[in-house]
A and B are shown apart, each in its own frame.
Chain A
């Protein structure tokens, strides 16, 4: 199923227009629409694809990529809802007339309209006498559930365009312009994804596609990420960066309904925190609490992260610390004594994983100031699990 129109080479088809006007609807129930003719100097670029879409999902993927492309090149906001980008769909059963669908405000509307129209046209063709064309050239609209007839060839608008004789001719030296424009273009999105996803041996970041997309879809986030990446020298810690950024920071922001902005936390403070946690100076739960504190109290970002951690008594206890060691032992003994049943499960029923439960209780008792590995070691030692 594809448009049968004789479509010219898309490379040749990039006409520039001035937008003539746009409709403004103030209210859904009102039958009045205002037309804004004050659109002089608002350029309009039209692009026609070849009739080579094989699947609805191809259309969706194309549009998502295309929208990202125009945003990335700063051609326009790519916003379908506000009409910054408009998509008309042409669809027909092979050998039958082309139907154009207009008024499609979202990608899901486009996808749903294509699905609906494919079914409708197939049914019309199957129901009709197979010799006569079942569908005529027409333009249809989309009401959210089904397509409906807008106009056919006879009632089509004849725009009667006239070339503007007052526009001076502009001669472009294309051969010298194209390399200059190419220099200005950012790296293509696919290449940026490749870099983020390839292994560190190839200079990459080993990100998953999902994480890489999140970064590529948000220029400021990607910039922040890159700054942090460059701040960290330890490769092992570098690879933890994406989790801290996407899951801890963005997750926290989503909960409090705040958009990411580089003003929330400086990249140096953020990396300092990550390095402190990943090198064991602060426990992970405390690290998360500190992150929240730093975002909410930006003046503290001037201080050293470890100083703040010390102020809050959040420095991680280490086995080497004798005082801490005896404290750890006390806590572990206390927890073991209070959880006889669990201890029994571990020692006699082979449910070794329940050790984690005990570790959790120890952590709670010490308000997260001790690394869980320390407790784990101690519990296993006391219970004789080696």
Chain B
């Protein structure tokens, strides 16, 4: 679609989806062969871009403009897609609501909203002097200025929203959380403002909001898509995710981004990709064959809502009747420990990653008169006022897990459980984990896919969520976390009514099989 700036700005006033919008989004040089020509997208504000700030919805990075583009941004540019703006998120991707970030809440388009949250827009212009790397043609900002005194500078312009002071009071009673942390990216797709959007998924941050907004949300295998330029939260879990209403678009975007990248050491190497390339061809062969679908008994959770349970059963029955699947019960015992394991590991990595925000290197820094420099050189005050409550909480939790008294009992133990979980997943899948040489089954045994719910229940109302105990709010991630810990490719598909979705999960590296299966499921449901 073509970007409709007027409509985007108008819709955004209600739902507060964007941290910044490009004033005049211009499509990259049109090529008739560009696979994503004539498409638009929005990207989560934790991806580095040169044309506007990269804030992570944090006061800490509010003024920060990256000198380089994330690999994802460069690749989408090459594929012909046009970025219209950057989307709101939970601060540093820590959360599952997109409510408490520095730029206010993003609302859920599935539910009614009467009043505007955004009072007005401000336009900001800045100028960069660009250099092109001789090695790989990458464009880097070598100078950045807010006034233009130089003829050779390129000019950039973006608009930001100013919220009403009483924005929270303006939220309608029916509103429910949009989910997070990629809430803005999900809302932009749900409202048809873009063809697709890019999010990041560390523990479910793409799948959960996709489920809450009735769209597709795909978290590929860990390492499939380069994380270069994605601000690190927990880099052993962080993945780049894609959201769309259209599976074909989603597939095309994934194909454009599914490339190795020397800038990201965790990105799968060419040789690993070659070893699993056959899986892409085989995905077509699966058509007409029955997929063996495993149902992990550990997902029979106490918290599972009655309507989720009945929709799950309905979906499986429908797919069985369409002769698409055979259902097998499987067991992955370590799933029971996934939630505490995840919160131990991600907070530990986060505490290390976020120590770089000290007011010296990036973005925000308190003014000297706001800080008693006799006691400390600005960084304690900077970090206290620059980070929100949830970020501070996770940094403290992570520091505990890494401290000399918590290291063995928490961090190492969680690392061990993660290893067990991966091993147990390897035992139930028919396909080989592309990072493991040993295969547990002959090609005929083991399951192809898992089908499990994306959430245990419908999204809580914003009021309820605001009063919810923090640890209880972590429970919203219980269904998505096991795949994050094991790095498995997973797509959340909308099914069963508003804000309900189910995850189709494949073995590590089987991304195309997952996407192909999603297509077949989509067709079966439509019948």
Contacts and interface: CB of A to CB of B under 8 A. Distances in A.
Interface string A275-302: 0000000000000000000000000000
Given A160-B402, A165-B235, 9 more contacts: A158-B404, A160-B352, A160-B403, A161-B402, A162-B349, A162-B351, A162-B402, A166-B266, A168-B266
B404 A165 contact: no
A158 B266 contact: no
B348 interface: yes
Nearest to B400: A160
A160 B266 contact: no
Interface in A59-117: none
Contacts of B348: 162
Which 8 interchain pairs have the tightest Cβ spacing?
Answer: A165-B236, A160-B402, A162-B352, A166-B265, A158-B404, A165-B235, A158-B403, A168-B265
A162 B232 CA distance: 14
Interface in A211-244: none
Nearest to A167: B265
Interface in B217-248: 235-236
Contacts of B265: 166-168
B399 interface: yes
Contact of A160 (B235, B236, B399): B399
B402 A166 contact: no
A158 B404 CA distance: 6
Contacts of A158: 403-404
B147 to A, nearest CB: 32
Interface string A13-53: 00000000000000000000000000000000000000000
Interface residues of B, number: 13
B235 A166 contact: yes
Nearest to B352: A162
A87 B108 CA distance: 61
B397 to A, nearest CB: 12
B349 A165 contact: yes
Interface in A155-191: 158, 160-162, 165-168
A166 B348 CA distance: 14
Interface in B303-358: 348-349, 351-352
A167 B266 CA distance: 8
Nearest to B412: A163
A328 B348 CA distance: 94
Interface in B11-61: none
Contacts of B403: 158, 160
A153 to B, nearest CB: 10
Contacts of A161: 402
A121 B186 CA distance: 67
- Among A158, A160, A161, A168, chain B packs the most CB atoms within 10 A around the CB of A160
A284 B411 CA distance: 75
A168 B236 CA distance: 11
Interface string B385-411: 000000000000001001110000001
Nearest to A169: B435
A162 B407 CA distance: 9
B219 to A, nearest CB: 18
Contacts, number: 24
Contacts of B411: 162
Q: How large is the interface on A (under 10, 10 to 19, 20 to 34, 35 or more residues)?
A: under 10
Nearest to A160: B402
A161 B404 CA distance: 9
A161 B231 CA distance: 20
Interface of A: 158, 160-162, 165-168
A171 to B, nearest CB: 11
Contacts of B351: 160, 162
A270 B479 CA distance: 83
A162 B404 CA distance: 11
Contacts of A162: 348-349, 351-352, 402, 411
24 contacts: A158-B403, A158-B404, A160-B351, A160-B352, A160-B399, A160-B402, A160-B403, A161-B402, A162-B348, A162-B349, A162-B351, A162-B352, A162-B402, A162-B411, A165-B235, A165-B236, A165-B266, A165-B349, A166-B235, A166-B265, A166-B266, A167-B265, A168-B265, A168-B266
A160 B405 CA distance: 10
Contacts of A167: 265
Contacts of A168: 265-266
A331 B235 CA distance: 94
Nearest to B269: A168
Contacts of B236: 165
- Among B351, B402, B403, chain A packs the most CB atoms within 10 A around the CB of B402
A167 B235 CA distance: 11
A168 B351 CA distance: 21
B433 to A, nearest CB: 14
- Among A158, A161, A165, A167, chain B packs the most CB atoms within 10 A around the CB of A165
Contacts of A165: 235-236, 266, 349
A287 to B, nearest CB: 61
B472 to A, nearest CB: 28
A34 to B, nearest CB: 14
Interface in B154-189: none
A223 B349 CA distance: 52
Contacts of A166: 235, 265-266
A79 B83 CA distance: 55
Nearest to A165: B236
Contacts of A160: 351-352, 399, 402-403
Nearest to B348: A162
A363 to B, nearest CB: 73
A180 to B, nearest CB: 24
B224 to A, nearest CB: 16
Nearest to B238: A165
A166 B402 CA distance: 17
B228 to A, nearest CB: 11
Nearest to B237: A165
A158 B405 CA distance: 9
A322 B211 CA distance: 118
A286 to B, nearest CB: 64
B239 to A, nearest CB: 13
A323 B404 CA distance: 92
Nearest to B353: A162
A162 B236 CA distance: 12
A166 B399 CA distance: 19
A160 B352 CA distance: 9
A166 B236 CA distance: 7
A32 B402 CA distance: 30
- Among A162, A166, A168, chain B packs the most CB atoms within 10 A around the CB of A162
A167 B236 CA distance: 10
B401 to A, nearest CB: 9
Interface in B375-431: 399, 402-404, 411
A160 B402 CA distance: 5
B287 to A, nearest CB: 36
B409 to A, nearest CB: 14
A342 to B, nearest CB: 83
Contacts of B266: 165-166, 168
A161 B398 CA distance: 11
A162 B402 CA distance: 7
A41 to B, nearest CB: 14
Interface string B235-275: 11000000000000000000000000000011000000000
Interface in B279-295: none
Contacts of B352: 160, 162
Nearest to A162: B352
Contacts of B404: 158
A35 to B, nearest CB: 12
